Structure 1
Amino acid sequence: MSRTDHLTATISVSHTPDEVFAAITNVRGWWSENIIGATAAADDEFVFYEAGDGIRFSRFRLTEVVPGRRVVWHVVDSYLVFIEDHDEWTDTQVVFDISAGSDGTTVHFTHEGLNAADSACFEACSRGWTFYITESLPRLIATGTGQPMPKIRG
């Protein structure tokens, strides 16, 4: 990876693009149960939040939704507790490109705007996104149950 590459992860699964798209838009099923709002259609907005020392919140707007092909989230606002530039995610894009192949479907995930050269959260965010994209999302696709952050109780 070059020092200017965006944060990326790629998976391939033996399911259809439509099944993969349905799983990606089920954000509560693979990323976090702490989601407020709608997560599937163009112009939907949702907020991800957590307690503790991580990402306090991020608000996303779905700016591009092409069923079975592509989903783009624009980060409208964010507050990351663990780095000095608390709004580092603000105005970045989270992109899911879905493509069909002979053996199934590939998802290429990119968090545009986070790169190793300029991003204070790149290493920690890379570990988090890599887990959710390469472990939790495929598990949701294959079994119907991912490994999202559990709902905050209280």
Structure 2
Amino acid sequence: MMNMPSSLVSGLLLAAIWIGIAESAVAIFPTKSKNYHVITRIHINKFHIGETLILDLGKDVKEWKRMRDGQEETIKYCADEKGKDCNVWLNADHKTVGDGREHIFDNGTLIIENFQTSDSGDYYTDDELQRIHYTADGHVWQLARTKISVVPI
């Protein structure tokens, strides 16, 4: 895949996602700099309505984000759970958009009880450890943070 144009790789990745054959996909997108490479990861999780959604990207996660209907929403962990902004989805205006089915634990795990179509979206966190590798010949490889697309089946 390294010799393929990035547009072709992108097209193949999108085609795999579109027809539903990719549960997890990796694509390599070369940049203009010949020494810097970014590897992206997209995970597609399919859930039945009513199931419990459990997402885990590591113990350092204290805040999750999701993109739903073009709007970014945030949920953060609070040890005391007494703040009005704790363990509930908030939009960019800091208004509650969650309904109490969501909870983030101190180990970073996000749980959404009784998954609904309205929970569909892309889930990610800026707290996930970045993975960057510098090679002896001057190349830099970076593994982008995980994005989890959640869709109902």
Q: TM-score, normalised by structure 1?
A: 0.30
**Rg: which structure is higher?**
2
Q: TM-score, normalised by structure 2?
A: 0.30
